[in-house]
Structures are given as C-alpha cells and as structure tokens.
Structure 1
Amino acid sequence: MGSNDSPVVSHEPVVQLEFESVDIAYDERYLYAACRDHKIRVWSKADWQLVAELGVTDTMPLAVAVDDSRVYATCEKRVYVWNKETWGMTGWFELSYQAVTSRLHGDYFYIGAQEGRLVSIQKDTHETNSWQLHKSDITSIWSDDKIICTCTRKEEPRVWLKNPDAAPSELARLDKKGKGGVLGGTSEFVLVGTPAGEIAVFDRGEYSLVRTLEPRKSNAIHSLWASNYYVIAANSNGTLSVWDLRRGEELGEISFRGTRNQWITADHDLVYVATTGDIQIIRLMAGGQPLDVMSEGPSTWKESLLKTSPYDVLEATIQLEKRGDEKYKEGLFREAVLEYENALQQLIDNTHALQEVPTERQMLTEELNSKLGRALLKSKIIDIEELSYQVRQLSEELDIRKRTDMAPDDVEKLWSEASRAIKESRVLAEAQAADMLSYQLTAAANKLDHELQDAMERYNAFRETINQAMVLIRGISNEWRWMERKRTSLTERKEFLEGAIGRISEALKAADEDSEVSKILSGALEEYRRLDSQIDRIITSHEEEEVAPFMDKEEVTSAIESLLSVIPQKRASLSSIENSKQRELERQKILSALQQALESAESFKLSKQAKAVQAEIEALESLGQQ
C-alpha cells in the first residue's frame, strides 16, 4: 500500500447487471455495453433499468463507442451504427481488414486491425484510410486530439502524430518496459500496462519514462483507465488496482472473486467493470466519502482522509464477522463465506488506517481466516453432497429405466461440475488439513468420485447401445435413400423394406423393454412398416379387376344406340380432314369407341347391337384401306 500520507480507497457496490460484456461506454444519461450475445445493451444511469437492446451484429462486438447522436459497435468486419433518439440501426461501415480493437475520438474512428494495420474512418463521410504500422495485429489503441498510440503483443508500443491528410508519423517507441501491454493516456502522460502487472508512465514531452507503478503482486493488466490524478488497472486475477498517479502510490485493491475483468472505465466516483460473468458498477470511497477520480479534490477533503480511525475499521470488521457467525449458525454457509470475505476485504482496504494496531489487525485476520476456512469447508461439503445426489439419481435412472431424460449436454455438464468439485475439494481439504471438517470433505469427495465413475460407466454403456441402434437405423436410411435416388421399382423397394423391418425387429427383441434403445427402434420400425403398407397398397391396386362401365342391359343398350346414331356423322367428317395423319388418328379414336361397344354388347349377349357395331367397324376399316 502507499505511504502514510496516501488516502485508502475502498468501494461500495452500486448495481450488478447480469450480462457478459467485453466493452463499456457511457454518456451523461446512459451506460452502453458490448455483449457476447451479439447485442449492444443500454441502461439508464438514473435507475439502471434496461432501456434498449441494439443488434444483432454479425459477429460478437469487440468495442462500443458513443457520440452526441449515435452508438457504434465495432465487429470483426463491420462497424454498426444506431441512432440514439430512436435506437434504430442506421447502417454500418464495411471493413477491408479484420478488426481487433477500436477507439472513437472526435470525427474519426481508429480501428486496430490484423497484420498491424491501422484503419481510419471519417464518421460523416465514411472516408477510409489504412496504414501498416506494425508487423503483427494491433491489440490496443489510445488517442486524443494530437496523438494516437498503438501496441501489439509482439512489438513495443508506439506513439504517432495524427495527420488527417496523410499517414501518421512516428513520434516515439515506448520500449523501456518491453513488448505488449495495454494503453491508456491523459493530457500529460501515456501509460502502458504490462503483462507483468507494472504500469509504465511516460511524459508527453520527450516520451521518457517518468515512473513505473509496481504492484505488490504480479498480475497481467487487461484494461487501463487514467486521469491526470488517478489510474485504475484491471488485473488478470480479478482485481482492480487504484493508484495515485502524481505520487506513484497504490491506494487500494478491489476484488471481484471468481471473475475475469475484461474492460474498465471510470465516471467520476463510479467505476464500470465488464467481467466474464456480469457488469459490476461500484462507487469508489475514501474516508467515507465518494472519490472522484477525475479531479484532484479539495485539500481539506484530502486532509480528512489521513484521520481514518483504526477503531472504526476494527469495529466495522467485527460487525461483519458477527454477521458471518450468525449465517454460519443458521446453516447458511455460502452466505457466511461472503460475510467473512467482506470482513477480510475491509481489513485489506484499510491497511493504512490499521498501521497503529498491528497486533489487533493480525489477530483479527487470523481469526477471520480460520472462520472463513471452516465456512468454505461446510459450503463445499454441501456442494459435494448435492452433486452426489444428482449423480446417484442419474445412475439409478439408467439402472431401472435403462434410459435418461437428461440431454447429453446436461450430462456432460454434470460430469464437468462433479470432477471440478472433487478437485477443488481435495485442494481445499489439503489447505485446511488442521480442521477436522477437512476429513469429512475428503470422505465426501472420495464418495462422489466413486459414484461418478460408476455413473459414467453406466452412461457410456447406455450411449453405446444407443449408438449401435443409431448405426443400424442410419444404415437402413442411407440404403433407402439410395434406392429412391436410383428410381428402383416399387417391388424392389418393398422387398428391401421387408428385410429392413426384419433386421429392426430382431434388434428390438434384444433391447430392454421401455429403454431408450427400444424407443428408437420402435419408432423406426413403425415408420418402415407404414411405408411398406403404403407401397403394398399401391402395388396391389394394379392387380385388382377393372370396374365394369355398365351395370345392366338397359344401360348398355342405351349407350350403344347413342353411339350408333352419331357414328355416320363422325364417319362422314373424316373425309373433310385433309391431313392424312390427323384423319387416321380420328379414325382410330372412333374404332376404339366401337370396339368398347362391341365388347359390352357381347358381354350382355346383345346380338342385334353387336352385329350393328361390327358392321360399323368393318365400314371404318374399309375406309382405312382406301
């Protein structure tokens, strides 16, 4: 921590927004977040209610930016634009190079792209320029009215002089602290957060190294925010470090356990943190008052920070400890863990104030660590028992029902959670070996491990039987599709279906009743039987006797007499047809009708009508011979 005249920084939670985001921007009224589900979300800063969801973008947005009237989202190949009044999309810029990062400043968008290219886009005219400034992908950008700073993972950061009509000209290479890192800056300084956790501060005159902010613990810096007075760094271990930039002293550390900080930005006393799980909005505090990191603050306020009472800190910590004790007694072990962690964090945040009472601070720290360890053990035992119940339930389901309603993804998730819990439990038990509860946790973890292995064997056997059934069904299905593509006869297809039905029936006999395999095979068998029955009906329909056109003598007599009355007219009209082929076609049609009439007359033993029809047939045949 800093020296005796440095203020101690703590924080108060403001709100937690349950969306996973990678970048954040804000204006006077709204907070904007680029979310992993390809949407830009907008919240009101007045009540933190969700105002709008903008999107969906073609790929996950890399960055979000705003100006007076528009919202911008940079994706790999596009920059999307929305209107702030209507929240409607107005269009997008197409990018010639794949974006990695971006920054909006004034009238220009600066895109850090692959292959070391910097892309400049004029917002209103969409005029685009690009220059290759590095050999590898540009991963971090910072700019203001005069300069633009770029950085890659393989090369040292560089500072460029902006030139709206030409390529940027190089001003400096910030190579004092090695390669890579993330960039930040102010009107007086350029800052580089390094993979080693240091923050190199360069002046804006000669671009010489002014100082290096060295943390107590080495953690890579993921994101950096700075004013002329303070620096906030998001570290790889899920913490934020707050620094006094003028004095080069670390003022405090804020922890977000179990998350990874993706991006931070500050808004006076508020800090917006995009993590892997959510968006954390906190208020920075110093001496019980909000800390505005954008201003230096009045000297009287700064003096009051030096008078933080160690007794206030100890008393507040003890109160948190007692709350943890109450939660523990109620069996709310997870909640107790949070209270003990908050109490320890209180001690960490106020290390400066406790320098006068080192013995009491040490005793309270050891006491809290002991209680935290026990609460963690109890909490983990409950977690293990819950997972053990889920694993046993699945195993019993497979044993009794021979199937499970759990989706494969859910089963894999259960395996993963159980395996991770077993490993974590053994590590925790080893660390807390002096506590008898650690042995209970070890026993519970060993039991879960045994149950997990048994359940996995049962599930793998279950999946294997399903796979065998699916192989059979897919093979038959592929053969069937091949027969359809080859346009085989219906008789051939019916023979194939009968064979397939036999194969599935044999497999079904070997399957356990009501099992998942039985369900799969039964469904396929029903479908192929339906097809077989359908094709059988089509085939047999051609073999049935033709339906007679007439029902009795009276009906056929009437039809023949009607035909004979029209035939002379039809025969006479043949002579008027000049085209011989057309004439022959018409003659054959008349002959066909007469032949049907002759067959009907003979069928009903109408000799008189049969003779008359035969005479007409002979007359028509003679015409064909002419």
Structure 2
Amino acid sequence: MDHTLTGGSDSNIVSHESISLLEVDAIDIDYDDKYLYAACTDQHIRVFDKNTWQLVVELNTSDSDPLAVDVDAEQVYATCEKRVYVWKKGTWGMIGWFELSYQAITSLLRGDFFFIGAKEGRLVSIQKESHETSSWQLHKSDLTSIWSDDRIICTSTKKEEPRVWLKESESAPSELARLDKKGKGGIVTGNIEFVFVGSPSGEVAVYERTEWNLRETLEPKHSSMVSSMWASNHYLIVAHSSGTLDIWDTKRGDEVGSIELNGNKIAYVTADHDMLYVATSGGIFILQLKASGRPLDVCSEGPVIWQESLLKTSPYDVLEDSLKLERSGDKKYQDGLYHEAVVEYENAMQLLIDNTHALQEVPEERQQLTDELDTRLGKALLKAKIQEVQGLCHGILQLSEELEVRKRTDRNPDEVDRLWASAGRVIKESRVLADAQSNDMLSFQLTHEIDTLDTILTEAMTRYDTFRETINQAIALTRQISNEWHWMERKRTSLVERKEFLESSIKRISDALEEAEPEGEVRTILANALDEYKKLFEQIDWIISSSEPEHVFSNRDEASETIETLLLIFPKRREALEGIANPRDHEKERLRLISAIQQALESATSFKLTKAIKALENELSLLEPEKE
C-alpha cells in the first residue's frame, strides 16, 4: 500500500509503502545482501530473510541483552556490556567473543576495526583479525553515540559537547573540533561534507567538515528527541522518539518528507537503498521509499532537485528550471558567494542529467545550456578556491606576524597542526583544479595564489618550528631545575646546600633570560621561573641568617667591660661552688658557670679580646672535673 508522507509541505513528493512488520522488540539493526539482523531485548540476535521476511535463525547472547549488532562479509558481531560475541555467517555457529575491559554502551564496525563506546567516556578499538585492543578516554562522561568514516571519528555523550577526532594508525585519536555551538550531547552521524548532531530538542545541527563551522540548523515541525539518524552524501533521515521520521535533502537543507509510525517509539533507523528498516516499540517496520511512484534509492550518488516531481516530461520545464538555477547561481556569483554559486550550478547541471530523456527533442539547447553551466561552474569553483586560499593566507600570515612581533601565539599546537594540514590539503586540491581548468584565465590567478600560500606556509612553518624549539629549550631548562630541586627536598638536604643550588639555578636562568627575545613566551616562561626561585632563595637565606647566633654586645668596649666584670665574679662563684655539698646541686651550678664562661668566650673571640680570651680559658679549665 502506497502512503503519501504526512506532515510535509507541498514540496514533499516522497511516498512510502509498508512492506512488512517484524514483531520483535529490537534496539539496533544491521543488514547485508541477504539478511536483516536485529539486536533484541531478550538476549537474542534474530536474522530475517530479506526476500520473505521470515525468521532464519536466533543467535543467543546468553548472559546479557545485546546493545548493538554489526556484520561484515563473513561474521556477525553482538555487543553486550562486557563482551562482543562473534558468529560465523551461514553456519551460524559461535566463533567466540572479545572480553571488554570497560562497560560498553554502543558500538560501530568500520573497515578492519570495531569501535566500542564505553563508560567513563572511553573509546575502545579492536582490530578484527588480530584482536589487538586499544582504548582512550575521550570524554569525562559515558560515550553514548559514535560515528566514523575512513578519516575521522565523531563521539558524543549526554553531558558534553560532541567532538571530532582524527584517526591515527598507531596512536590515540587527535582532537580536530568540538561541536559546541548547539549545546551538549546528542546523536552523531555524517557524510563526506557534513557532520550532523541530533539534539534532545529535535533540532539537527549541521557542521561543515572543513573549518567545522555550524552551517545550518535543521528544525523539524515537531520537537521530540532525536533517537537515531542515518545519512548518505545527499540524504539525512532523522528518527524522533515520538515515532516520526524526517527526510532531508542535505544539499539544499530542505525537509522533503515525514513519516508517522502511529506513535511507536523509534529506537533505531537505517536505510538500504530504497528500503528503510525502523526499530520501534511496536516492532521493526520495513518501508520502501518512493518518489513519483518509483523507488527512491537514498544511497545513490548525485543530488536530487526537489521540484514537483523528480523526473520531468516536458523539455521546456527542464530548460526553464535549469535556467532559473543558473540565474540564481549568477546572482550569488556576482555577490561574491562563490561556494553557494557552485551549488546552484551543480544542481542545474544535475537537473539536465536526470532529465536527459526529456531533452532529446531539444539537443542543441541542451548542449548549449550544458556548455554554459560547465563554464560558469568552472569559474565559480576557481573563485571559491581562490577565496579559500586567500583566507588561509590571511590566517597563516597572522600567525607568522604574531611570532615575529609578539614572539608568541595564543594558538595551541593542535590548532597550528590543523592549520598546516588544512593548508596542505587546499594546496593539493587547488593544483588539481587549476590543471583541470587550465583554459580559464582564473586558473592563472589560482596558481599564483597557491604559490603565494605555499611560500607563506613554508616560512610560517619554519618560524613556528624555531619558536617551538626555543620554547622547548626554556621548558627543558626549567623542568630540569625543578626536578633537581624536588630531588633535594626528597633527600632532605640541608638548607645551606639548597641555598647554593638556588644560587646556581638563578644564574642559569638569568643567563638564558639575557639571550631571550625582549618579548615573547620564552621570556615569560623564564621570568616566571626566575621569580619563583628568587622567592625561594630569599626565604631560605632569611631562615639561615635568622638561625645564626646574635651578638650580645653592640661594640668592643661594651664587651670588654662586661667580661672584666665577669672575671672578677667567677673566682667568688668557684669558692661558693666548693661549699655545695649536694652532688646534684654542685654539678648543676658548675655547668651553669661553664655556660656563662663559654658565652663570654664567644663574645671575646668575636671582638678579638686576646687577654680576656686567655683569662676565660683559664677559668674554664679550673671548672673542668679533676681527672682520676
């Protein structure tokens, strides 16, 4: 039965036909040429024949419900919380399983690698053949949604903004971007041009895969949470938990259809050419998409121009609509919107290609318009690329000037690496385009801009490498001193030794500071370290000086007078000492007299009172106990 899509505008010309309803409670789906695989909530993977939609086999996960199902050419994978089970296709025998160190939440099979989104923001990567496993903590909270292609990995959690990572063959993914302009969390998917983030409010944020800017926000006519998304290079299918499917043309940003599933809560959606497989609370809906009564292959290449019908029968309609698109492209070109002009010219060209059958009666006009569009498209592509190259030149020059004038930059190394990579990619793409459009005079301008960018890039990279080298040297110096200082503290060396170390360290930093540029990050690093160690030195120096004995007398005369008085008193004290009968009291008094003489001796020595020193030493010897 054919159904017109509901909820759309007059431009919604897509219909669907209900093929079957598989009465299973599934949360995830995958498929191949023959079978549909459903991860069900009763600890089973169910396999259905795509010709008859009959159940073929049930695969038991035994200990827990599967979270996701994935298939490749030979095997079926079921991700559970602690394991990934593997079965052989055809025989359906279990091959074994992978043990997971982190509790899984979702999974994705991409090429030779199996990616697991796990608790605590961890991404687990498993090589299918060798079973070699790596894991990285990419977020602080549980990783709930992942999408990947050959180059990037997109991750999302419910509490943090989605992030984009560059795949690295032998190391952890490196962060490319944080998609934070439309709030936190959501479902992520993508294609060769865009990354899509479906939010709990129902909106879908569209980010360009060049500078990772927010291109637009797709706003549905309802506001229920996005529960699943599927994307090809030209279509985006958005599933809402309320039971609605929205179909978008990603090239034009238009909603081209909406399917209501009678309020069944949608858990997952995927597309198989003209077929949609939708896992809901009421079962798996098998739907066929159609346009103008014909199957609509949403996996196919080439943009669709959504008019009253996909295929036109009148050559005049085709020519008229193509000319309108051409004029729209011309206006955008004149306004300097070269990228937008490219889209209009491409759409016009595609309209001619899609309706070749209708233009057989007007071959000359078709060829003339095709040639015009080809010329305009070439110029728009060249101008768009020139604009992009000039923008990169400006950004790189700005960085280079920062390093030359300020001797520092606010950009972190990852941002600079992304700038270099972007410039390298644009240079390659631009050279290819300039060669392809070599007959157009704009190709000469593009070549000139490329050469300029190449020169600026080389100079900036050299300057930045020098800048980083000096910074690394400064950091290495301060880190070495810091490590040695902490070692001295752990070994509990004396304060005098620490003071000597700080003196030498301050000199080393001061020498390096003299060689540093008057302004810049190197000077800041060294100056901060110097201030820190000077403060420590002053503290320790004060502590040491405070612990040294203070002089009792302010001058030589005062000391001499006091010591002479003591020398008169000491003989009387010795006589009194002899009269003390109690041995304990006798010893106590003797030690008290010795202490007083020693203090006087220190003062006499300090002021170089030679006679007093001899007299005091004599008194001290008289108080020494007699040797037996």
TM-score range, shorter chain: 0.3 to 0.5
TM-score (norm 2): 0.47
